[in-house]
Structure 1
Amino acid sequence: MKKIFYSLLLFFFVSTLQAQKVYFPPAGEWQTKTSKEFDLDFSEAIQFAEENEYSESRDLRQAILKGFQSEPYHQLLGPVKRRGGPAGLILKNGYIVAQWGAVDRVDMTFSVTKSFLSTTALIALQQEKIKNVNDSVARYIWDGTFEGSHNSKITWKHLLQQNSDWSGELWGSYDWADRPPRDQNIDQWRSRALHEPGSYFKYNDVRVNVLAYSLLNIFREPLPKVLKNNIMDPIGASSSWRWFGYENSWTAIDGLQMQSVSGGGHSGGGMFISTTDMARFGLLFMNNGNWNGQQLLHPDLIEEAGMPSEANSNYGYMWWLNAAGDRHMEAIDSEIFYAAGFGGNFIVVDQKRKMVIVTRWLEPSKFEEFLNLVYKDL
């Protein structure tokens, strides 16, 4: 009897270890398991995602111009692609346990791009191209971008947390013209008082593009190449993804013309990528930067990227956090973090439950309700 008991104990121990082991899909492959194998059911969540498609036009030129019509001088400067319909993947322990829509279709992903951009900053820190995230950027970029009593105080951390309040113009776009207050006029926007760097959060694509430009200068090679060599190729991503800048965002480095990429699709450009490649990226972060035994990003950097800033408890290094704050989702674990983009593009990372959730073209106001359905049995 005792022998049988210990055999059963060993069986359950081994089964538990196998259930917890993370699977890493080789390039061009991905094993699936049914959600029932993990005692889960995502059918209601999938149906909800399919029935709550982003309400604006699939012609993203129209959707973008309508979405940002209140901004002075706004125009499309980078490529735009007509989008597909709702699509998504749910991973458990690395396995695909649910999917819907055309998951291999390449689409724009808008501000989800920011999480890819901040990842290149983590690579720069890991390679010591940036010595310290609290260094002033002016120590590295001396071409006038960070001149003046205000801009010279800005650190890499301020840019990553979107609380730099950088002031200026880049690629023909002005910081004050990006999502300006609607109760003020253009003269008030131009003459606004500046906030001390680190003290005030403002979602601002011009300043995100300043970060991209600054990183381009310290790597001295295009950021898509940095991301490809250090992250996307090692995790087995396809060759279909592209990361664009603007038609005018070119600069000369070491005698070569290089394009500075954008951190989103606000004015076109940004990351064009499939749902499956987004899921691979999420899986890397779910597993603390380790891909099948290869440590691509140090765990301390992953942890640092998910720390809330003083100016916004729901924002880290261009990842949204479900900590207490204005964007807290009450029924969802406070430890998850996620990338979010215009039109309802999301990558949700749940390290505790070893899950990654990617959803495309979900009506943004329905995101929390969708997650509640995903997590209702967890």
Structure 2
Amino acid sequence: MPTASLQSVVDYAIAHESPWPRSMYYPDGSYVGNVEWNERGPWTEIVGPVAERGGPAGVIMRGGETVAEWGNTARTDMTFSIAKSYLSVLTGLAVADGLIPDIDRPVAETVDGPVFAGAHNGAITWRHLLHQNSEWQGELFGKSDQVDHFRQIGPGADNSRKGQRRTLGAPGSVYEYNDVRVNVLGYALLRRFRRPLPEVLRERIMDPIGASRDWRWEGYENADVDIDGRMIRSVPGGGHWGGGLFIGARDHALFGQLVAAKGSWQGRELIPASWLAQSLAPSPTLPNYGFLWWLNRGPTANPKLPAGSFSALGAGSNVIWIAPELDVVAVVRWIDKAAVDGFCERLAAALA
């Protein structure tokens, strides 16, 4: 049973449920993501699986032990952009395996073909993809990078110009939250591992930490890639057009605890600690962003939260919040995005 102070945090999460429809579609048939991001034009088609969501759910772990839990934490709901942080960890495994010799070298050196062809895309490094400042240009699996030009996220986001083409900068010069470019990273990792990324994640991370066998990572129906004569589906970094990581809160919490423990589990290093340290260093183009992790750093830092805290965030809202200073990992699912800070602030105060 949680303490009274933790119970008030749980009650807050339950009372501030996401306004998203549980079906993921509004009565007029519009997909919730298209409405959320003001998506119009030729790239709105949903090409991956979509599933009805559950209700508020979450887990709070402290010192590696569960101290509070609510809702159906085993339910494998869509998780949207939390998948980006899983891609970050998979990139670290590829580096550790020698599949990516240097993240500051062009991706084109180890991934051939048209995706990284030409002077502009050919100059993009793995670091650029991880920092979301690659400025990659083109179309992948039927979606153009232009779909997320001028995209804004967070409180006060103005997406009135989203999808209007803008002039691109040099790779590494401009931060833009762009799901097509994150999917390019997933594609590049598939080309290096030459195995399905969900298979790598299950074998190297999720099974060793005792995660369930229920989670799955779904790709788009047109995202099959020929790898050594075998068609393998590339997986996206979210549910922007359906698909993505379908997973329960309890499994998210175990993943978060692994990251909080600097990649070690029961004395075994699953993720290099040095990779996680790099992952949580501020990007030069956005000080509150690392390698596909959100940091409590820079001008937007929340002074009520520990400076070293960081998050994996997905629309809806879905959150893995990690605060090493408090030895806490919290997963909160289907909370109103306007209440995310309130949840974390209340939790930090309860544990201080």
TM over 0.5: yes
Distance of 1:314 and 1:184 partners within structure 2:
23
Distance of 2:20 and 2:261 partners within structure 1:
35
Q: Which residue of 2 is the match for residue 146 of structure 1?
A: 116
> What displacement does 1:257 show?
0.5
Assess if the C-alpha contact under 8 Å between 1:65 and 1:75 holds in 2: no
Distance of 1:82 and 1:329 partners within structure 2:
33
Q: Which residue of 1 is the match for residue 298 of structure 2?
A: 324
Distance of 1:316 and 1:286 partners within structure 2:
15
Q: Which residue of 2 is the match for residue 344 of structure 1?
A: 317
TM-score (norm 2): 0.93
Distance of 1:170 and 1:115 partners within structure 2:
20
What whole-Å deviation, never above 9, does each CA across 1:8-46 have from its counterpart, x for those lacking one? xxxxxxxxxxxxxxxxxxxxxxxxxx555xxx8212111
Distance of 1:315 and 1:140 partners within structure 2:
26
- Decide which of 244, 262, 276 is 1:270's aligned counterpart: 244
Distance of 1:70 and 1:76 partners within structure 2:
11
Assess if the C-alpha contact under 8 Å between 2:145 and 2:181 holds in 1: yes
User: Is 1:59 matched with 2:23?
Assistant: yes
Alignment of 1:1-378 (within 5 A): 34-36=1-3, 41-61=5-25, 62-73=31-42, 74-178=44-148, 180=150, 182=159, 184=161, 189=165, 192-326=166-300, 328-377=301-350, 378=352
**Secondary structure class of the residue paired with 2:290:** coil
Larger radius of gyration: 1
Distance of 1:313 and 1:42 partners within structure 2:
31
AA aligned to 2:35 is K
Pick which of 274-283 and 173-182 moved more: 173-182
Which stretches in structure 1 are left out of the alignment for 5+ residues? 1-33
Distance of 2:188 and 2:143 partners within structure 1:
16
**Secondary structure class of the residue paired with 2:225:** strand
Assess if the C-alpha contact under 8 Å between 2:38 and 2:162 holds in 1: no
> What displacement does 1:60 show?
1.3
> What displacement does 1:351 show?
1.8
**Secondary structure class of the residue paired with 2:222:** strand
- Structure 1 stretches (4+) deviating beyond 6 angstroms? none
Distance of 1:234 and 1:262 partners within structure 2:
23
Which stretches in structure 2 are left out of the alignment for 5+ residues? 26-30, 152-158
Assess if the C-alpha contact under 8 Å between 1:338 and 1:347 holds in 2: yes
**Secondary structure class of the residue paired with 1:42:** helix
AA aligned to 1:260 is S
Assess if the C-alpha contact under 8 Å between 1:264 and 1:271 holds in 2: yes
> What displacement does 1:150 show?
1.3
Distance of 2:339 and 2:311 partners within structure 1:
15
Q: Which residue of 2 is the match for residue 4 of structure 1?
A: none
**Cα RMSD for the two superposed structures:** 1.5
Distance of 2:343 and 2:335 partners within structure 1:
9
AA aligned to 2:34 is L
Assess if the C-alpha contact under 8 Å between 2:83 and 2:238 holds in 1: yes
